[in-house]
Structure 1
Amino acid sequence: MPLLEVLFNPEAEKPTVKPSYEGFTEFGNYFSNSLNYYISEMAGSDASKALIFVIALIISVFFLKNLFNYLAMYFITFLRNGVLKDLRNDLYDKTLELPVSFYSEKRKGDVLARFGTDVLEIQHSFLSILELIFREPLTIIFTILFMLTISVKLTIFVFIFIPISGFIISLIGKSLKRKSDKVQKEQGTFLSILEETLSGLKVIKSYNSERNFAGKFQNSTSRFFKFSNSLLNRTNLAKPTSEFLGIGVIGILLWFGGRMVLVDGSLDGKQFIVFMGLAYNILTPAKAISKASYSVKKGNAAAERVLEILNTNSPLEDKSKAKTKDDFTSEIGINNISFKYEDDLVLKNFSLKVPKGKSVALVGQSGSGKSTIANLATRFYDVNQGNISIDGEDIRDLKKSSLRGLMGLVTQDSILFNDTVKNNILIGKEEASDDEVIDALKIANAWEFVKDLPNGIETNIGDAGGKLSGGQKQRLSIARAVLKNPPIMILDEATSALDTESERLVQVALENMMKNRTSIVIAHRLSTIQNADQIVVMSKGEIAEQGTHEELLAKGGVYKKLVEMQSFE
């Protein structure tokens, strides 16, 4: 207002008496007159000096505005990126905490999408508007207060039309969450196809299925294309709609305010121009808030997908008074357990005792429930009925970390990581020395090939150990278990993936390792378990017969038939 006063009315009489404050509604005039008074005091009768002073004042105000804008963005950057880091860390911790069963129901690609694109969507939609949440409402409040000081009547008129335009904008935004959810889910689908393709590339190529898998991937990306277009077109409608509605409000305001200046004379021309500037000052943050509400609706879908994992409670959580167990003294008891993965029972009223220092072998056809025993003993799943105990204590009353600390597991699929031989073995015992690693490799008959690798134990073995043969990978898995040196060993078909020569090498290693150690051996090849203290033959989740190798052969039952089928004398 003082600038307009100086430019358009330089001959106006300057106030010689300092203005007095006459209440909030007259604050506009008080502020304008005060500035005029100080300008005339400083500039005297020279209008150009007054102009320079007002321009300097405006530049100072905008310098401060932009300085604090930068500082606001500077500090909020740490908050945004910190929230992002914490979200990813919490998601990863939850991924490790949730049971194996959770991932048998979910696609891996979908979980990866939640880590990547969903978390980024939260950054773009929620965290990018953090400054708006604080800044824009304050801008609107202070602007309204200034508008009220100029004209209460005109301000009330503005506020009749702003909610109407806000309501129209919100109607457009309602379907954004639903459309965004489809986009996020489809992203999970094509990432899953990509993950499966990388895992099974050999099979896809050998069966000439490239076209089939490319078709599946293209179908998914076509759906993603369609959903993304629909979402973006709806989002793009926000800006022109809010722009047009905003100009509509300004147009009505020009008509109403113009009448107050020209017809009623109840408003001064310069006050009206300033009021229009303030009204536009409200529309800018109002548009930013409406755009932010669109972003929030889009981000809601991503946030719900992330929270679905974060809020999932693991059914295998430790009890509040779970005990720590550091030693194993008498026996493992599998007491009348029943278990099902989905509808059909895999184990029915199954009972077994494994005394300390003894090896018990579980044999039987595929699907008889052998590997399920390994999953339940290590508490990857919980039994539906009965219980499994160690030294008479239910494993559900023990801390999972404590229970698994007593056990070493060697699975049929040798699970290795894209790292060095040494780091793969050290998973068994992180603080072990190089000599201990080499000793473990020797016991597992793996040192013979590791010593010839380009960098010995420091050689990277590739993704999932892809640079090694099946037998070599399995011997590294056994070396990892040897290094851990647990009192209980669970071998889940540990030699089934090996050729005859590797099997013989590994079998010697396993027998060395199992001396004076409690072992549950799940085997397909009966040659590997002839020396077990007890052999349990399983059929459809129940015990068909049990005894030593010689006793079972003498019985002439199921075990003998299995032996004959495998052509072992």
Structure 2
Amino acid sequence: MSNFKKIVPFIYPYKKYAFLNIFFNVLYALFSTLSFVSLIPMVQVLFDQTKRNTIKPVYTGISEIKKYGEDSLSYFITTTTDTYGAGHTLGIMVAGIISIFLLKNLCDYLAMFFINFLRNGILRDMRNAMYKKTLELPLAFYSEKRKGDVISRISGDVNEVQTSFLAILELIVKEPLTIIFTIFAMLYISVKLTVFVFVFIPISGYLISLIGKQLKKQSTKAQQEQGTFLSTIEETIGGLKVVKGYNAENYFNSVFQNSTDRFFKLSNSIGNRQNLASPASEFMGILVITILLWFGGQMVLIDKTLDAASFIGYMSLAYNILTPAKAISKASYGVKRGNAAAERVLEVLEQENTIVSKENAVEKTTFDDNINVQNINFKYEEETVLKDFSLQIKKGQTVALVGQSGSGKSTIANLLTRFYDVTDGSISIDGINIKDINLQSLRGLMGLVTQDSILFNDTIKANISLGKLDATDDEIIEALKIANAYEFVKDLPKGIYTNIGDSGNKLSGGQRQRLSIARAVLKNPPIMILDEATSALDTESEKFVQVALENMMQNRTSIVIAHRLSTIQKADVIIVMQKGKIVEKGTHEELIAHNGTYNKLVTMQSFES
């Protein structure tokens, strides 16, 4: 129930539909009970067992309500039969029963009609909330979670919450009310018989509950397994070239099949337990009814304390309890399965986002003086990456960061953009700590071009205009020209309206990277971060991209993280890093003359070339 309480806020926008559903469920329960109670007078008329009553009864108070009801009914049947005949009375009874059944089913339809809006609305809002949260959560969250598992939670688990967990809405209104109204009608007919019945109901309820005890635990495992094989699909499709290139199809096929086999066994176990709920509850119900037939039969035939028509109506009511009881037992298993899904959904929704804008954060739209990185330390979980690192970058400077893999170069880019936060020390822009700057305005000051050109399955225009959604075609073409990309875009079938495929796979690596640069150019930020923007390219593509980068970096402050040292010789300052510390600093000529680490790196790359 604690998980259900946390989902209640998603219900609030649709409370109108919830109230309408409850209203029609109350009417459904009432008409459902009346439909069986109305059989009693019909049977009495049919077999001419109605007690004759020619005196109109008078209401004397609630204590005599049962007698007043019976006398009123017998008076109506007696007078109608005497006036119009038994056939006419029977016709009225049949029309009454048909009307009650019609109203019962109409109310059932309307209750389901309104709950549809509620359930589908919650499904939509929960999916939207999950997706919004996945966009907001820091990158650190995704280094611990598999992407396929997150996809599974947004699709499968949210759907499970909607179909199974929200069955509780039906569980707490429709079925219990049907049972309560039916019990009142049964007590009205015979208190003794009803007390006898309810000695056996708790026993049967306990036996049914034993079936569902392991359901939630198995459902959690099944949903985790679904996340595993979705991750395998996502990783396999993303790395299909490597899979095929290394003839690893059989290996990945066996990994996937092992996961789906585990899911198959868990699903069978869950399904079999759920399927057992309905027949088990029906069998226990029939067992109670059989005992009821024996005990009630004695009251009719031997004790003569109950008439036959009332007993037939009573048996119908007793059977009427079976359907909602079955529904409750089935829904309760659904709730257990949905509860496991709700936990996985809420784990994401309640995940704390540590990288957010402060209250009253500074809105900064310009870069005027410098970036100051002061005595920062940073570690990913347990591994320390930067130690007591300090750096000042003046406006208009091009600063290059070089060093071997793992020296902490890319970490600087991640910290400047606040994809991660520093462990100690501070980073400030124009004297303002970046933690005090509104996150969107901070990232608005920066353009980012990464080693992997991240593009989306959309048109060239849509990909480039991410940083400026209202950009005109002319602005996009101008950005493409600066990025040295318009020469190949203009030859495409639909120009900037050409779809570039999943991750831009219809283009070459150099073309994709030039589109990434065009995207940064169009955004036109004062600070540009280039994270190994040419390291994945061949020599010819690198020349095109290098020209594009030089065009873009004019009149901007640029931080260039470089693996290929040929691309940063014109930088104002080159910072040489080793194990998270600065070991050398200066221009290309100064560092060559110094004959230290930088010179060795240049010599090694020249030798490799």
User: Which TM-score applies when normalising by structure 1?
Assistant: 0.97
1:276 aligns to 2:315 (yes or no): yes
Alignment equivalent of 1:259, drawn from 298, 312, 316:
298
Task: Say if 1:491 and 1:520, in contact at 8 Å, map to a contact too.
Answer: yes
CA distance in 1, matches of 2:129, 2:298: 60
2:401 is matched with 362
**1:119: Cα distance to partner?**
1.7
Task: Say if 1:25 and 1:151, in contact at 8 Å, map to a contact too.
Answer: no
How does 1:309-388 map onto structure 2 within 5 Å? Answer: 309-388=348-427
The farther-off stretch of 475-484 and 243-252 is: 243-252
2:517 is matched with 478
**1:128: Cα distance to partner?**
4.2
Task: Say if 2:41 and 2:309, in contact at 8 Å, map to a contact too.
Answer: no
Please state whether the residue corresponding to 2:399 is helix, strand or coil.
strand
2:13 is matched with none
Task: Say if 2:281 and 2:325, in contact at 8 Å, map to a contact too.
Answer: no
1:130 is matched with 169
Please state whether the residue corresponding to 1:264 is helix, strand or coil.
coil
CA distance in 2, matches of 1:103, 1:539: 27
2:79 is matched with 41
**1:490: Cα distance to partner?**
0.4
Task: Say if 2:158 and 2:345, in contact at 8 Å, map to a contact too.
Answer: yes
Please state whether the residue corresponding to 1:567 is helix, strand or coil.
helix
CA distance in 2, matches of 1:108, 1:25: 67
**1:466: Cα distance to partner?**
0.1
1:456 is matched with 495
Matching residue's letter, 1:296:
V
**1:129: Cα distance to partner?**
5.0
**1:501: Cα distance to partner?**
2.3
**1:228: Cα distance to partner?**
0.9
1:140 aligns to 2:149 (yes or no): no
1:170 aligns to 2:170 (yes or no): no
**1:342: Cα distance to partner?**
2.2
User: Structure 1 pair 508/152, CA: closer, same or farther in 2 (3 Å)?
Assistant: same
1:399 aligns to 2:438 (yes or no): yes
**1:265: Cα distance to partner?**
2.2
1:119 aligns to 2:125 (yes or no): no
Alignment equivalent of 2:282, drawn from 233, 243, 251:
243
1:186 is matched with 225
1:61 aligns to 2:100 (yes or no): yes
Please state whether the residue corresponding to 1:566 is helix, strand or coil.
helix
Alignment equivalent of 1:234, drawn from 260, 265, 273:
273
- Structure 1 stretches of at least 4 aligned residues deviating more than 6 Å after TM superposition: none
Alignment equivalent of 1:105, drawn from 124, 139, 144:
144
Please state whether the residue corresponding to 1:460 is helix, strand or coil.
coil
CA distance in 2, matches of 1:159, 1:323: 68
Task: Say if 1:72 and 1:131, in contact at 8 Å, map to a contact too.
Answer: no
Matching residue's letter, 1:216:
V
1:16 is matched with 54
Q: Which runs of 5+ in 2 are unaligned?
A: 1-39
User: Structure 1 pair 271/30, CA: closer, same or farther in 2 (3 Å)?
Assistant: farther
CA distance in 2, matches of 1:183, 1:30: 58
Alignment equivalent of 1:524, drawn from 558, 563, 571:
563
Matching residue's letter, 1:197:
T
CA distance in 1, matches of 2:333, 2:72: 43
**1:21: Cα distance to partner?**
4.3
CA distance in 2, matches of 1:23, 1:172: 48
Alignment equivalent of 2:533, drawn from 494, 498, 503:
494
Q: Deviations over 1:150-180 (max 9, x none)?
A: 1222222222221221111111111100111
The farther-off stretch of 329-338 and 23-32 is: 23-32
Q: Deviations over 1:32-68 (max 9, x none)?
A: 4323322343442500000100000000111111111
Q: Which runs of 5+ in 1 are unaligned?
A: none
Alignment equivalent of 1:427, drawn from 424, 448, 466:
466
CA distance in 2, matches of 1:158, 1:79: 37
**1:27: Cα distance to partner?**
4.2
Matching residue's letter, 2:352:
N
2:132 is matched with 93
The farther-off stretch of 16-25 and 181-190 is: 16-25
Q: Deviations over 1:445-468 (max 9, x none)?
A: 000100001110000000000000
Q: Deviations over 1:228-249 (max 9, x none)?
A: 1111111111112111111111
1:545 is matched with 584
2:548 is matched with 509
**1:411: Cα distance to partner?**
0.2
1:301 aligns to 2:350 (yes or no): no
Task: Say if 1:26 and 1:149, in contact at 8 Å, map to a contact too.
Answer: no
User: Which TM-score applies when normalising by structure 2?
Assistant: 0.91
CA distance in 1, matches of 2:333, 2:59: 43
CA distance in 2, matches of 1:166, 1:547: 81
Instruction: Give the % identical residues.
Output: 68
CA distance in 2, matches of 1:78, 1:445: 52
CA distance in 2, matches of 1:149, 1:26: 12
CA distance in 1, matches of 2:528, 2:565: 18
Alignment equivalent of 2:241, drawn from 202, 208, 211:
202
Please state whether the residue corresponding to 1:413 is helix, strand or coil.
coil
Matching residue's letter, 1:18:
K
User: Structure 1 pair 383/412, CA: closer, same or farther in 2 (3 Å)?
Assistant: same
The farther-off stretch of 221-230 and 119-128 is: 119-128
